């Protein structure tokens, strides 16, 4: 009798142990899944953008710090207006189409900017059925649902013929998610969300990211296939309503020349100061209208160059970057007034520390058409 009671007690103890271990194992899996999706979201969601056109809204994602955007070709096919909105609320109304693959439904766009958040590209040849996959996009193409995250697994790798493969996945997608990124658990983009089949249950597909890699090899940022400048909004930019979408302005107090592009309530600035010996100074900025003025951030890059005697070409040696506020207080077709937080002209820059000998202060400027 004593042995029988002891056996029953031992059996209950073993059963209790396995039940506890099983629950603990399921908890680990659940926490791990949440951690993967959460980690990928924190790492990459800021690089996911909302693309708005005159016909539809969808998703894209930044693949370089200087404004290359991957998306689906059908998102921008046949449209006359395109704008790109980042997660921080910045809107880019001047958008270029650099590359397209109509067969695989892919496109690479370009917006003007520097130091933008971007995703890391993975190798879609390394994925297998059963791998974890995470999608970030803009369901219904609305700002209210911008940067929504879902997850699932790779269901299969499908060959649609003629060199066109797709990734089948269970991560739920909705209209508006087209053109968005599909990530591995490590946060590498391995696909561009393409379509879903309404006839089935949770049948979603993405185009392998390696096709985007192939397109990048042939991209020339200086040669756009097409460009949308949203000229229709130009009358809202200046008091006289006669500014051009792409015009050059020069400083009345210095030698700086800036190219300004107007679009709706936004102004994009690209400025290049004349070379000073080994110094090359460039500045870009995106400004948004706030009341009667335009405010934004100026991104400046100062590069020291060395002359290559054999070819008479210059090679970048050292570089310092700075980010400072800038604002335009008055904008007309014949005169622009503003100010920027910068250092005096006689300040000395230490290129090893990227620091100046004098503190920055607000300095006013005036530009006129060149």
Q: How far apart are alpha carbons 137 and 146 in whole angstroms? A: 7
Q: How far apart are alpha carbons 63 and 71 in whole angstroms? A: 10
* From 45, 83, 124, 178, active-site residue: 178
Judge whether 105 counts as a catalytic residue: yes
* From 36, 105, 188, 280, active-site residue: 105
Task: State the burial class of residue 269 (Cβ atoms within 10 Å of its Cβ: 0-12, 13-18, 19+).
Answer: buried
Judge whether 217 counts as a catalytic residue: no
Q: How far apart are alpha carbons 287 and 324 in whole angstroms? A: 12
What phi and psi values does residue 85 have, to the nearest 5 degrees? -115, 125
Six-digit token string for 365 = 């400027």
* From 74, 120, 174, 265, active-site residue: 74
First to last CA, the chain: 105
Please give the distance of CA 43 from its chain centroid, rounded to a whole number. 13
Maximum Cα interatomic distance, the chain, rounded to a whole number of Å: 106
Judge whether 39 counts as a catalytic residue: no
Which residues lie across from 85 on neighbouring strands? 50, 91
Task: State the burial class of residue 93 (Cβ atoms within 10 Å of its Cβ: 0-12, 13-18, 19+).
Answer: buried
Pair 86, 49: CB distance under 8 Å? yes
Q: Which residue has the tokens 């007309």?
A: 332
Non-local CB neighbours of 29 within 8 Å, separated by 6+ positions: none
Degrees, nearest 5: CA angle 174-188-84:
55
Catalytic residues: 74, 105, 178
């Amino acid at each position: 009798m004593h042995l029988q009671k002891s056996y029953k007690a031992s059996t209950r103890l073993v059963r209790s142990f396995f039940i506890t271990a099983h629950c603990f194992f399921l908890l680990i899996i659940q926490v791990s899944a949440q951690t993967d999706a959460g980690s990928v979201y924190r790492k990459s969601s800021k690089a996911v953008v909302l693309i708005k056109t005159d016909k539809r809204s969808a998703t894209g994602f930044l693949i370089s710090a200087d404004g290359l955007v991957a998306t689906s070709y059908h998102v921008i096919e046949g449209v006359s207006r395109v704008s790109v909105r980042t997660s921080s609320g910045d809107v880019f109304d001047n958008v270029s189409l650099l590359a397209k693959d109509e067969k695989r439904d892919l496109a690479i766009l370009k917006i003007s900017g520097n130091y933008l958040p971007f995703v890391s590209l993975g190798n879609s040849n390394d994925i297998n059925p059963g791998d974890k996959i995470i999608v970030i996009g803009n369901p219904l193409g609305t700002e209210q649902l911008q940067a929504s995250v879902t997850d699932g697994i790779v269901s299969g790798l499908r060959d649609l013929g003629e060199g066109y493969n797709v990734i089948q996945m269970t991560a739920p997608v909705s209209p508006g998610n087209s053109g968005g990124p599909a990530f591995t658990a490590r946060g590498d983009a391995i696909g561009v969300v393409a379509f879903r089949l309404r006839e089935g249950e949770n049948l979603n597909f993405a185009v392998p990211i390696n096709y985007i890699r192939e397109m990048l090899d042939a991209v020339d940022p200086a040669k756009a296939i097409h460009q949308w400048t949203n000229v229709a909004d130009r009358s809202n930019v200046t008091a006289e309503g006669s500014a051009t979408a792409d015009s050059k302005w020069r400083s009345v107090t210095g030698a700086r020349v800036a190219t300004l592009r107007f679009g709706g309530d936004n102004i994009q600035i690209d400025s290049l100061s004349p070379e000073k010996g080994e110094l090359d100074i460039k500045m870009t900025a995106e400004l948004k209208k706030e009341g009667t003025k335009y405010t934004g951030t100026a991104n400046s890059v100062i590069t020291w160059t060395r002359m290559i005697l054999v070819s008479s070409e210059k090679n970048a040696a050292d570089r310092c970057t700075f980010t400072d506020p800038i604002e335009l207080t008055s904008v007309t077709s014949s005169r622009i007034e503003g100010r920027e937080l910068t250092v005096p002209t006689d300040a000395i820059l230490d290129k090893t520390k990227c620091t100046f000998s004098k503190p920055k202060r607000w300095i006013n400027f005036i530009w006129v058409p060149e």
